[in-house]
Structure 1
């Protein structure tokens, strides 16, 4: 690894940086939520939700990787899959109130797992093992929290991400449609 990172729970004050990193992993989905391909508006959308408690994209559900210079180099958002419907509702309310969008996306998780919603690394920090480090941290967190399984979705159009997850030990599950795309549900059972 080229740089040393420290991973910690995100804080609401990380909202200056984390939503922009998150958007890299979630762009197409967020653009569908806000009904336009507007990067600035998408970051605004994620920032509002990141700063609030009790939703899928909250700082409460996010870990950040901090580099040697104290900069946020990556983020991973994950939560108890059994709480998905409860945590998704504030987002559905927000897209209805702010964007008059009544869409209700498919469930990303069936529950019974620690679900990794998004993982992304800042462009300047890519290729340095930060994504792998965040995944290992999330798996250890899930195990420590009593989860028997960690799951995530990987876009069929992103074979590099799939290879990374497989290298860590994730197994391919079912194909899953989500917000107009096709994904594999992948999972790992923490040792």
Structure 2
């Protein structure tokens, strides 16, 4: 099922669905933020930030894929990598205040790119090309906005995701630690 032209900018009102989809891609990291493996608390955490402006997980930075029935089938969150530190600040402040967590994560992006923070597809919608369509949409968005590169991280333990990104044209960059795991920074040049 192609969903081309059924991708749109997220809205704050999508908070009833999108954070649960996002959690699929970010579970381990969010659990480290809240210092427990509590799915309900993690969804609450993501929902709170999704509905607000000016942070990494905001609806402002998210695109959603809509299936033929009008349901949200996937999401992709991405932003200007040069704004990473500024967008991360509200998250770090909150986890320190709410969870007494003073962790400082490595930077996911060095900037100078449109950075794809997370991409996830609802379990019922997997295998239908939605992730690929979201990636193509994000690449086109980045190109239209004048970015010269799109980047993302892929877990070394997730070779299937790495193969998907390579099929789309992403190249392996440097290996780096992040949030207790090992990742490759992958990128695609747009010029």
Alignment TM-score, normalising by the size of structure 1: 0.98
Partner-residue secondary structure (3-state), 1:138: helix
Residue equivalent to 1:21: 21
**Structure 2 counterparts to residues 131-146 of structure 1, below 5 A:** 131-146=131-146
Residue equivalent to 1:80: 80
Residue equivalent to 2:189: 189
Residue equivalent to 1:161: 161
Does the aligned pair in 1 maintain the 2:3–2:65 contact within 8 Å?
A: no
Q: CA deviation at 1:98?
A: 1.1
Q: CA deviation at 1:3?
A: 5.1
1:111 equivalent to 2:111? Answer yes
Q: CA deviation at 1:4?
A: 3.2
- Runs (5+) with no aligned partner, structure 2: none
Moved over 4 A (4+): none
Distance 1:170 1:78 in 2: 16
**Structure 2 counterparts to residues 91-110 of structure 1, below 5 A:** 91-110=91-110
Does the aligned pair in 1 maintain the 2:3–2:133 contact within 8 Å?
A: no
Distance 1:148 1:118 in 2: 20
Q: CA deviation at 1:190?
A: 2.2
Partner-residue secondary structure (3-state), 2:146: coil
Distance 1:57 1:10 in 2: 11
1:178 equivalent to 2:181? Answer no
Q: CA deviation at 1:97?
A: 1.3
Residue equivalent to 1:70: 70
Equivalent residues, number = 190
Distance 1:181 1:4 in 2: 33
Partner-residue secondary structure (3-state), 1:150: strand
Partner-residue secondary structure (3-state), 1:90: helix
Residue equivalent to 1:38: 38
Distance 1:139 1:190 in 2: 8
- Runs (5+) with no aligned partner, structure 1: none
Partner-residue secondary structure (3-state), 1:173: strand
Partner-residue secondary structure (3-state), 1:118: strand
